[in-house]
Amino acid sequence: MDHQAFAQILGNYGEFVGAIAVVITLVYLAVQVKHSKEATEASTRSAEAAQKLSLATNHLARVDLITRALRDLTASDDLVNLRNKVVNNEQDTLTETEQSRIRVWYISQIYILDSQHYQYELGLIDEESWLEAVAVIRLQAESWKNLGIFPRRSAFARAVEGIVQGGSVNSEDSLRL
């Protein structure tokens, strides 16, 4: 066997080994892609579960805040009477202490509603929950104005202004009220 024939045989073996290496590499890459896809799907499922848990936790916290505020209101005949005077635009008949008490109660309501608006902006509460908050804002906004109290956070203040003026509150327009 001469040198050229030997080189030819080595070249053929090299091509054969190279082809096998390519096939092995392709199989390896296919396995890696499959594992990567499975990991991505698992991560996505985990993120979706975490989002659902976050939504449920926020809903529970929201319900707790609202329930406590309503319990405070109904537990005090005095507070109910003060609120009724404000709703009936009779806040001028309140003493300074009474005005302070009802203002603090309404400010707590503003903070609860502002928190709900912020959570809605972040997508942490759903449209239905936000529309419930909008209904409360429509009921309370005039009383806030009568008492001279206004939302502090500018995005919420703009939302309240839009709601009071009858602005749209659907998901596309909610942040532009």
- CA–CA dist 124, 120 (Å, integer): 6
In the predicted structure, residue 118 carries a pLDDT above the cut 50: yes
Residue 33 falls inside a structural domain: no
Closest CA to 82 of 99, 69, 60, 67: 99
Residue 99 falls inside a structural domain: yes
Q: What's the mean pLDDT in 12-24? A: 90
Residue 83 falls inside a structural domain: yes
∠ CA 74-76-82, rounded to 5°: 95
Q: What's the mean pLDDT in 89-117? A: 90
- CA–CA dist 20, 114 (Å, integer): 65
∠ CA 83-115-176, rounded to 5°: 100
Phi, psi torsion values for 139, nearest 5 degrees: -70, -35
Domain total in the chain: 1
Q: Tokens 């024939």 correspond to what residue?
A: 5
Residue 82 falls inside a structural domain: yes
Predicted local confidence at residue 134, as pLDDT: 95
Q: Which domain holds residue 146?
A: 76-176
Predicted local confidence at residue 73, as pLDDT: 67
Q: Supply 47's token pair.
A: 């993120």
Q: What's the mean pLDDT in 76-95? A: 87
119, 125 contact by CB (below 8 A): yes
Predicted local confidence at residue 172, as pLDDT: 40
Phi, psi torsion values for 73, nearest 5 degrees: -65, -50
70 alpha-carbon distance from chain centroid: 24
Residue 71 falls inside a structural domain: no
55, exposed or middle or buried, with CB in 10 Å at 0-12, 13-18, 19+?
Answer: middle
Predicted local confidence at residue 25, as pLDDT: 92
164, 104 contact by CB (below 8 A): no
Q: Supply 89's token pair.
A: 């635009």
Residue 147 falls inside a structural domain: yes
pLDDT class of 131 with cuts at 50, 70, 90: very high
- Per residue in 34-77, pLDDT (tens digit) is 989 988 898 888 888 887 777 777 767 767 777 777 677 667 77
In the predicted structure, residue 177 carries a pLDDT above the cut 50: no
Residue 116 falls inside a structural domain: yes
Residue 54 falls inside a structural domain: no
